[in-house]
């Protein structure tokens, strides 16, 4: 409620590679794919949608960038209150 953004949390430990993939999925599906479709079709609406969604995925991209030193096989868990994860 404080940030007016949707937030999902997983309390079970997962591999860092799976965490990265799930964090990047919204940017890909809601941002990059519509941008590619806009380029193919010339749709201005899809172009705007893709740019806005990529901008909104900036927090997810920052979380993935922050964990770049974590090995892919390391187990991580979502932080309960902040963006990102911590190693288990």
For position 84, what pLDDT does the model report? 84
On the question of pLDDT at 6 being above 80, the answer is no
pTM, rounded to two decimals = 0.83
- Give per-residue pLDDT as tens, 22-49: 999 999 999 999 999 999 999 999 999 9
Place of tokens 């201005």: 44
């Amino acid at each position: 409620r404080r940030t007016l953004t949707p937030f999902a949390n997983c309390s079970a430990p997962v591999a860092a590679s799976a965490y990265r993939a799930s964090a990047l999925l919204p940017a890909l599906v809601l941002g990059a794919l519509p941008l590619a479709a806009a380029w193919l079709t010339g749709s201005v609406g899809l172009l705007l949608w893709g740019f806005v969604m990529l901008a909104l995925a900036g927090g997810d991209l920052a979380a993935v960038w922050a964990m770049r030193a974590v090995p892919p096989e390391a187990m991580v868990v979502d932080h309960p209150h902040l963006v990102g994860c911590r190693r288990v």
